[in-house]
Structure 1
Amino acid sequence: MEKQGHGEMEIISPDSRSRIKLLKINRELLVTHIHNTQCLVDNLLENDYFSAEDAEIVCACPTQPDKVRKLLDLVQSKGEEVSEFFLHVLQQLTDAFVDLRPWLLEIGFSPSPLIQSKAVVNTDPVSRYTQQLRHHLGRDSKFALCYAQKEERLLEAIYVDTVMELVGFGHESLGSLGSLACLLDHTSGVLNEQGETVFVFGDAGVGKSMLLQRLQNLWATGRLDAGVKFFFHFRCRMFSCFKKSDTLCLQDLLFKHFCYPEQEPGEVFAFLLRFPHTALFTFDGLDELHSDLDLSHVPDSSCPGEPAHPLVLLASLLSGRLLRGAGKVLTARTGTEVPRRLLRKKVLLRGFSPSHLRAYARRMFPERALHERLLEQLEANPNLCSLCAVPLFCWIFFRCFRHFQATLDGSPRLSDRAVTLTDVFLLVTEVHLNRAQPRSLVQRNTRSRAATLRAGRDTLCALGQLARWGTERSLFVFGQEEVRASGLQEGDLQLGLLRALWEPGPGGDEPAYEFLHLTLQAFFTAFFLVLDDRVGTRELLRFFQEWAPPGESEAVSCYPPFLPLQCLGRSSLAKEDPFKKKDHFQFTNLFLCGLLSKAQQKLLRHLVPEAALKRKRRALWTHLSSSLRSYLKSLPRVHSDGFSQVQAMPTFLWMLRCIFETQSQKVGQLAARGICANYLKLTYCNACSADCSALSFVLHHFHKRLALDLDNNNLNDYGVRELQPCFSRLTVVRLSVNQITDGGAKVLCEELTKYKIVTYLGLYSNQITDVGARYVAQVLDECQSLTHLKLGKNKITSEGGKCLALALKNSRSISEIGMWGNRIGDEGAKAFAEALQGHPSLATLSLASNSISTEGGKSLARALQQNTSLRIFWLTKNELNDEVAESMAEMLKVNQTLQHLWLIQNQITAKGVAQLADALQKNTGITEVCLNGNLIKPEEAKVFEDEKRIVCF
């Protein structure tokens, strides 16, 4: 036998196959490591191996070791079969007897067929709690909360994935995420091995909460295979409900404020502490966490049994000071910063692509005729279609569409003008207010929108007062005191615009309330600012303060203060709170502009005196145009290549959205006059297709030529379509990394060939196939001012490559083409080779990572013998071998104008390198031949050390 030493488990294996003897000689080990006797007793009772009296004898023992000893005595006294079944239970219930796994493996226990046929009942507290959590989360996540509130839909029936993209610390794209299970995959997209938090972010309404609900549902139904036994879901706004003096230990936070174990909570918590990697936490809406607590002097909590303020527990969980190794998924709106040391992955949610939108329409409207009619309307109204790229707005509009189809036998009452977000939310308000009206089985409700709003004015004012109170304080949960103070009646609470919350808060045992979404709270805040005659100009504009350039922020009333949460890594009070996000202010501004627009004047004059509307509208419009001008003037400028370039930030997009929401051409004209640069850079702003509508609304009043850089956003084909009014002015069009497909390429072709002024077209990393490549080729062929074309990382094969090569051959202006990461192959390479012969202007060409092998490479080499324009040629990551290297060497003996040749990561050996090195003896023009990552050993590379232009490592 082996004796245990220094805390190691003792392993004793008998020679005899007697199960009784096995239990006897390993008695000490079993007494030490069996902590759950009840589970064993339950199984022995279930299979009639124990009587009720036997169970009572075991349970009557005073201590756990005594219970195990008595249990072993009774089992051994009942013979070999019972002893074998006892071992079988230990083997089957791995969670209950985790410490005995090594011993069971060592002895090689294998039960007989008779014992295998016996039922094993899992009454282990840990396993029972896992099942309890599955039931709890399965119940809570089964139905999706509709914005009608009186009807819920099965999540399974309506859920559609959104576009999810892995990003780096600098928001650079690291590729798309295939499924929700990939969120928890430890092999892809990891930015920091020591970080434990997967950070999912995106704009308001893009589907962050729905994603977590889907994740919960997958786990609850056993479809998320990630080794997770415990799943705890918290909404961050819950932590704002605790009082300053409240303290909790971690066990109480998990069990009392989420789901309390039915059995042995101490044992369940002890298992969690031992195996934290079996737990997954999701925290929804970090940006909604607001507290008036100053945590700068509160110590971090690293002891799970030590009481601390719940915010400290949250911070300690995220930082790994508590339950290190547990998985965490954290969501927040775009712009919320989380310290890098906490992050394992960053995932950007981009909303619905066109294909997602079509799939979602089919889910929401299974009736074929109805969903086809809906899609026709969306196709006819690109602006509404672009709004529907945001899942929340899509859901809201679809619900309104359903309502009007059912009640009016027609489509939603939207005019022919561009549909704004305010229009959609006014529809929502009308739908919900009509719910309070008595219904007739024989007569439809034909009351006008104006009459509906006029009848519900008191309700709107009460909702607005409550919303404004919360928005000013960045609070999103309301206790009974605030609800009563706002004047809301019981019937108002039943309309479905608010939902009840049974979370810790000022109401004690009474429910707290929240608006269905942050955007709805912002809408009613704006509605109140318009409806209330007591709201003056200064108060009307108070939420616009963020727009003011540095040094001018005192011009508008200040926001309520945000005190920093030091517990996640920010130590200076002067630094901005990493969790601060102001979308609730920005959406309030947006809806204020929509409600005060001229288009809504006829509707609102039934609720507000016309003189008050005009006064507020005049003040708002003046502020909008002056703010945009001041903002752009405050941005630093870069003067390069004849352009005065400004890098605008997301704030600029919010300004444009607000201006668009006014639908005032006069405001658009004033805003356009304030654009004092001719190169607008809006990269990494998370702009969506609806933002293109706002951009066009202003830029079509800009009468000079303009460069527009929208790389790395979320525009898709709808966004390209919405930019149509701008193309007559755009000389630089950069739309890389924007989910643009062949449909978008077609729009670009139609518009750019109409005006023929484009000099730069950037479409890198989109979803353009050979069909779209033909459209781009037409642009290259007809727009003789085009000098730069970026088409890398699309889905272009040899057919598209041939079209582009033919257009290249005809172009006399193009100087750079980027085709990295396509699949043009040897056939496409041959077509490019033909275009290169004698080409007068092309200076830079990238055909890297294009599946080009021997024949294609040799064709390109031969073509370059007849080319004097090309200076940079990239053939990285292809399948080029020594034959190609030999052809390139022959080319270099002739071509004296090529300066940079990149043959990195191919299949060239030392033999090919030697030929290239020999050719350089006759070439004075080449600067470098890069051969890193080829089949060259370090010792072989030493031979070429004297030739500095050969780069092997």
Structure 2
Amino acid sequence: METQGHREMEGGPSKSHSHAGLLKVSRELLVTHIHNIQCLVDNLLKNDYFSTEDAEIVCACPTQPDKVRKILDLVQSKGEEVSEFFLYVLQQLADAYVDLRPWLLEIGFSPSQLIQSKTIVNTDPVSRYTQKLRHQLGCDSKFMLCYAQREELLLEETYTDTIMELVSFSNEILGSLSSLASLLDPSSDVLNEHGETVFVFGDAGVGKSMLLQRLRSLWASGRLGAEIKFFFHFRCRIFSCFKESDTLSLQDLLFKHFCYPEQDPDEVFAFLLRFPQAALFTFDGLDELHSDFDLSRVPDTCCPWEPAHPLVLLANLLSGRLLPGARKLLTARTGVEVPRQLLCKKVLLRGFSPSHLRAYARRMFPERAAQVHVLQQLEANPNLCSLCAVPLFCWIIFRCFQHFHSAFEGSPQRPACTVTLTDVFLLVTEVHLNRTQPCSLVQRNTRSTAETFLAGLHTLCSLGRVARSGMEQSLFVFCPDDLEASGLREADLALGFLRTLPVLGPCEGQQSYEFFHITLQAFFTAFFLVVDDKVGTQELLRFFREWTPPGEAAAASCLPALFPFGGRRGGRPAGSDPFKNKDHFQFTNLFLCGLLSKARQELLWHLVPAAALRRKRRALWAHLCASMRGYLKSLPRLRSGGFNQVQAMPTFLWMLRCIYETQSQKVARLAARGVCADYLKLTFCNACSADCSALSFVLHHLHKRLALDLDNNNLNDYGVRELQPCLSRLVVLRLSVNQITDSGVQVLCEELTKYKILTYLGLYSNQITDVGARYVAQILEECKGLAHLKLGKNKITSEGGKCLALAVKNSTWISDIGMWGNQIGDEGAKAFAEALRNHPSLTWLSLAFNGISTEGGKSLAQALRHNTSLVTVWLTQNELNDEVAESFAEMLRVNQALKHLWLIQNQITAKGAAQLAEALQENTGITEICLHGNLIKPEEAKAFEEEKRLICF
């Protein structure tokens, strides 16, 4: 009878069969493929379709097929509804009855509303195990232990994606991966169709472990894809904990060393073996596998029940010999190589892009104001911003900012202490040292900073020797012999300060190493110079001579007492410069100043004898102050506009940065005494807005007024705010070409109108709009000594032009206005015309390239008939025509004070030029009318050759 039913099913189900009839005709199929009896009994009991006696009858049957037959008999005998519910259970618990999926699809089973309202309980061992895995991984991945191992953070509130790039076997970039789903997708971006492992690599701190934790969190919450039913996560370091004689079966490795099934482990393992594609394995940190184990030489094993060493199981899982088809993801640091035949994808993790950094800032600083402030500070300091590409460093820097923000929240005054680069690197060092600390479930790391540094002093000194030796010999790549000579131990490499190069270096086939970041080498060099007792004051200061840039060597040569190191080791002659970029020397000096600052005194007392510390600090302070004084005295002077002007070089900025890093007001006061000039020109010095902090730190101690030229740098609004402490000293302030917006101009307005001593304000080529123009107008009206105002090439329209024109009209002291390259148009030009009429002091005006046409041009010409102060007017690159030229000709018959009229690149023809030439016959005061680039042909210009003041070509 069962055979007959099975044959009927092979031809497809009969449409006339009821649900009970389907069970009858498919009886043999169901008996063969139903293995989970308990799940059916539990659901029939739960919904009162079975009594306790029915369940006992089923359980009393001797074999599993007999139990299935008895269930079918009982279900069919209870009628159509129970039979339909029986089919519904088979459909809903797909994992428990996986072999019946094709049959259920074939019969097109669709339950009624009544049956769909019934409760289904899943007691299937596989499903229960999946639920247990989700719960365990969900708990494990909910919180992330911060890098300092002192607190836990919610992953969902902290995690931010990083840059993932697919690379070839030779590490050539093939493209970006946009999501974690594409990382695991076996159908795309595959390098080797026979490999089964996705290899994710990157430098220490770029987020490899966090990526795996994010994967676990997504899977635990059901957001990674329903096709993955098992997720097994291992840290590679645990495989080093097994003895050489230890052996395990794959089932024991998964169940006894990861998560044990609550029921029927053999059934769960059988399901896993049957459907390995439903499993995802992640192995974190292959570089942490402390073993001579060679993945390419392990014995092959494909039997999941045969015991083997856990490392053998790891290798065969990665190769696909065990559980072929299972997805595997392996991480390691840059420099670790995995055999190509094991890999299906190779992915480079690069850390944060600018957009990722902004997203991370939003997570770390939910308050908009704090978020904007932090991003502005990062933009202000390229050195910090470049470090933030590494999530580890970014977290550390943001924690510094969080401390800074909370410590001074609500304070109306600017804090006396700020976060310096040395603060950040000290925290970086502390975090890395704490990585060696065991992580307890009941107690977090409670070591103080001093205890951490004291415990790691041997490691830090060894790293310092490597760094200093490299700095002295111009080396940035090190061989194993270099590390061994410094006393560096193998365990010290695991801290992450040094990384292996992805390719062999210049060490005759040996593995080579470099510091994780060039600034780290500089930091450890400075640290060694401070903490080593054998380093004297001359050695302490030697890198101040090394970093003097080319072009400034002549100035430095005048200061033998200040820069006493005339040559370098190895016989290299003084003044030779093998580096195009000397930032490594500059940063060494910067960190030296930070480490010897008063704020670091308490920490260093635990590491360095107090007498040695005081001796080094005094030597450094004296050197900085003498260097500042001697450097500025050595620069050539230029008497200009009543000022004693010097063109300072980038060296001056680095001196200021070093002084700022000390955070010592005493040092800043002494350095300020060395500023002997009253006009500091710092144009084209590549100054960033963080340099304004250093500049103000020193200049606000001056007792004299000063002119400061910072044109053509990268200051932005944050830099303007950092200049506030010294704005009370400035009579000249030039900030052209510096990405300043209305926000920065508002700060200038608030500060400059307090002191009212400004005579020159240069804001050419920034990003100032009409809003900022109103602030500038207020400065002009209130600062009664402001004679020169440069606002060209901004984003000022007619509205801003009207405000500025009104301020000019009310100002009887302004003499020079530059508005080239805005868009004030005819309306703005009319407003300026009204301001020019009878103005007593304005001598120079540029409204070039402002979209001024006929009406605006005529208004200006008419106003000039009543002006006797203007000497020069530029109206280049507008839309002035012959009608305007005629108005200017009429003006010239009246105005004898104007000397220079530039009408270059307009729309004036020979007719307009003729009218201007005719007017010149009655004007003896004007020197030139420039008409280059107008609509005048060369042959037409010949008619005006006699009038030398009319320049057509």
Tell me the equivalent position of 1:589. 589
Pairing 1:379-394 to 2, within 5 Å after superposition: 379=373, 386-387=380-381, 390-394=384-388
Query: Deviation per CA, 1:158-183, whole angstroms, max 9, x where unpaired?
Result: xxxxxxxxxxxxxxxxxxxxxxxxxx
Tell me the equivalent position of 1:370. 364
Shift of 1:493: 1.0
1:515 matches 2:515: yes
Query: Deviation per CA, 1:844-874, whole angstroms, max 9, x where unpaired?
Result: 0000000111111111111111111110000
Shift of 1:383: 6.2
Pairing 1:643-682 to 2, within 5 Å after superposition: 643-682=643-682
Give secondary structure in 2 for the equivalent of 1:922.
coil
Tell me the equivalent position of 1:700. 700
Pairing 1:383-462 to 2, within 5 Å after superposition: 386-387=380-381, 390-395=384-389, 399-400=392-393, 402=395, 417-462=417-462
Q: Judging changes above 3 Å, is the alpha-carbon distance between structure 1 residues 700 and 372 closer, same or farther for their aligned structure 2 residues?
A: same
The residue type equivalent to 1:435 in the other structure is R
Tell me the equivalent position of 2:172. 136
Shift of 1:372: 2.9
Query: Deviation per CA, 1:307-346, whole angstroms, max 9, x where unpaired?
Result: xxxxxxxxxxxxxxxxxxxxxxxxxxxxxxxxxxxxxxxx
Q: 1:593·1:659 contact (CA, 8 Å) conserved in 2?
A: yes
Tell me the TM-score normalized by structure 1. Answer: 0.61
Shift of 1:443: 3.2
Q: 1:389·1:689 contact (CA, 8 Å) conserved in 2?
A: no
Tell me the equivalent position of 2:208. 151
Give secondary structure in 2 for the equivalent of 1:774.
helix
Q: 1:886·1:912 contact (CA, 8 Å) conserved in 2?
A: yes
Tell me the equivalent position of 2:629. 629
Q: Judging changes above 3 Å, is the alpha-carbon distance between structure 1 residues 754 and 381 closer, same or farther for their aligned structure 2 residues?
A: farther
Q: Judging changes above 3 Å, is the alpha-carbon distance between structure 1 residues 737 and 145 closer, same or farther for their aligned structure 2 residues?
A: farther
Tell me the equivalent position of 1:735. 735
In structure 2, what is the Cα distance between the partners aligned to 1:777 and 1:134? 61
In structure 1, what is the Cα distance between the partners aligned to 2:169 and 2:765? 42
Tell me the equivalent position of 1:93. none
Give secondary structure in 1 for the equivalent of 2:728.
coil
Shift of 1:401: 6.0
Shift of 1:437: 1.4
Give secondary structure in 1 for the equivalent of 2:557.
coil
Q: Which of residues 556, 559, 565 in structure 2 aligns to 1:552?
A: 559
Give secondary structure in 1 for the equivalent of 2:893.
helix
Shift of 1:549: 2.3
Shift of 1:378: 6.5
Q: 1:876·1:902 contact (CA, 8 Å) conserved in 2?
A: yes
Query: Deviation per CA, 1:280-299, whole angstroms, max 9, x where unpaired?
Result: xxxxxxxxxxxxxxxxxxxx
Give secondary structure in 2 for the equivalent of 1:533.
coil
Q: 1:502·1:511 contact (CA, 8 Å) conserved in 2?
A: no
The residue type equivalent to 2:614 in the other structure is K
Give secondary structure in 1 for the equivalent of 2:714.
coil
Query: Deviation per CA, 1:235-288, whole angstroms, max 9, x where unpaired?
Result: xxxxxxxxxxxxxxxxxxxxxxxxxxxxxxxxxxxxxxxxxxxxxxxxxxxxxx
Tell me the equivalent position of 1:580. 580
Identity of aligned pairs, percent? 67
In structure 2, what is the Cα distance between the partners aligned to 1:642 and 1:133? 67
In structure 1, what is the Cα distance between the partners aligned to 2:856 and 2:936? 22
The residue type equivalent to 2:634 in the other structure is S
Q: Which range moved further: 594-603 or 408-417?
A: 408-417
Pairing 1:55-94 to 2, within 5 Å after superposition: none
Tell me the equivalent position of 1:889. 889
In structure 1, what is the Cα distance between the partners aligned to 2:690 and 2:488? 34
Query: Deviation per CA, 1:460-491, whole angstroms, max 9, x where unpaired?
Result: 11111110011111211111111111111222
In structure 2, what is the Cα distance between the partners aligned to 1:733 and 1:144? 50
Tell me the TM-score normalized by structure 2. Answer: 0.61
In structure 2, what is the Cα distance between the partners aligned to 1:408 and 1:435? 22
In structure 1, what is the Cα distance between the partners aligned to 2:400 and 2:921? 84
In structure 2, what is the Cα distance between the partners aligned to 1:776 and 1:898? 27
Q: 2:203·2:499 contact (CA, 8 Å) conserved in 1?
A: no
Query: Deviation per CA, 1:84-142, whole angstroms, max 9, x where unpaired?
Result: xxxxxxxxxxxxxxxxxxxxxxxxxxxxxxxxxxxxxxxxxxxxxx9969972238999
Give secondary structure in 2 for the equivalent of 1:484.
helix
In structure 2, what is the Cα distance between the partners aligned to 1:411 and 1:549? 38
In structure 2, what is the Cα distance between the partners aligned to 1:406 and 1:384? 13
Shift of 1:794: 0.7
Higher relative contact order (CA 8 A, sep 6+): 1
In structure 1, what is the Cα distance between the partners aligned to 2:865 and 2:534? 80
In structure 1, what is the Cα distance between the partners aligned to 2:665 and 2:448? 28
Q: Judging changes above 3 Å, is the alpha-carbon distance between structure 1 residues 459 and 559 closer, same or farther for their aligned structure 2 residues?
A: farther
Tell me the equivalent position of 2:822. 822
Q: Which range moved further: 381-390 or 585-594?
A: 381-390
1:496 matches 2:490: no
Q: 1:543·1:585 contact (CA, 8 Å) conserved in 2?
A: yes
The residue type equivalent to 1:364 in the other structure is Y
Pairing 1:555-566 to 2, within 5 Å after superposition: 555-558=563-566, 560=568
Tell me the equivalent position of 1:798. 798
Q: Judging changes above 3 Å, is the alpha-carbon distance between structure 1 residues 408 and 742 closer, same or farther for their aligned structure 2 residues?
A: closer
Give secondary structure in 1 for the equivalent of 2:921.
helix
In structure 2, what is the Cα distance between the partners aligned to 1:801 and 1:462? 64
Q: 1:645·1:679 contact (CA, 8 Å) conserved in 2?
A: yes
The residue type equivalent to 2:386 in the other structure is L
In structure 1, what is the Cα distance between the partners aligned to 2:521 and 2:368? 28
Give secondary structure in 1 for the equivalent of 2:646.
strand
Shift of 1:742: 0.7
Tell me the equivalent position of 1:840. 840
Give secondary structure in 1 for the equivalent of 2:173.
helix
In structure 2, what is the Cα distance between the partners aligned to 1:689 and 1:675? 21
In structure 2, what is the Cα distance between the partners aligned to 1:409 and 1:659? 24
Q: 2:364·2:398 contact (CA, 8 Å) conserved in 1?
A: no
The residue type equivalent to 2:366 in the other structure is E
In structure 1, what is the Cα distance between the partners aligned to 2:171 and 2:519? 31
Give secondary structure in 2 for the equivalent of 1:443.
coil
The residue type equivalent to 2:174 in the other structure is G
Give secondary structure in 2 for the equivalent of 1:499.
strand
In structure 2, what is the Cα distance between the partners aligned to 1:796 and 1:818? 12
Tell me the equivalent position of 2:9. none
Q: Judging changes above 3 Å, is the alpha-carbon distance between structure 1 residues 409 and 917 closer, same or farther for their aligned structure 2 residues?
A: closer
Tell me the equivalent position of 2:951. 951
Shift of 1:444: 2.7
Give secondary structure in 2 for the equivalent of 1:747.
helix
Tell me the equivalent position of 2:228. none
1:471 matches 2:471: yes
Q: Judging changes above 3 Å, is the alpha-carbon distance between structure 1 residues 937 and 380 closer, same or farther for their aligned structure 2 residues?
A: closer
Pairing 1:64-463 to 2, within 5 Å after superposition: 136-138=172-174, 148=205, 151=208, 359=355, 361-365=357-361, 368-373=362-367, 376=370, 379=373, 386-387=380-381, 390-395=384-389, 399-400=392-393, 402=395, 417-463=417-463
Give secondary structure in 1 for the equivalent of 2:804.
helix
Give secondary structure in 1 for the equivalent of 2:873.
strand
Q: 2:645·2:681 contact (CA, 8 Å) conserved in 1?
A: yes
The residue type equivalent to 1:151 in the other structure is K
Tell me the equivalent position of 1:176. none
The residue type equivalent to 1:729 in the other structure is R
Q: Which range moved further: 493-502 or 595-604?
A: 493-502
In structure 2, what is the Cα distance between the partners aligned to 1:509 and 1:496? 23
Q: Judging changes above 3 Å, is the alpha-carbon distance between structure 1 residues 131 and 649 closer, same or farther for their aligned structure 2 residues?
A: closer
Q: Judging changes above 3 Å, is the alpha-carbon distance between structure 1 residues 844 and 716 closer, same or farther for their aligned structure 2 residues?
A: same
Q: 1:786·1:814 contact (CA, 8 Å) conserved in 2?
A: yes
Shift of 1:370: 2.7
Shift of 1:411: 7.8
Unaligned runs of 5+ residues in structure 2 are 1-165, 179-199, 215-351, 409-414, 549-554
Pairing 1:755-834 to 2, within 5 Å after superposition: 755-834=755-834
In structure 1, what is the Cα distance between the partners aligned to 2:908 and 2:652? 50
Q: Flag the structure with larger Rg.
A: 2
Q: Judging changes above 3 Å, is the alpha-carbon distance between structure 1 residues 539 and 672 closer, same or farther for their aligned structure 2 residues?
A: same
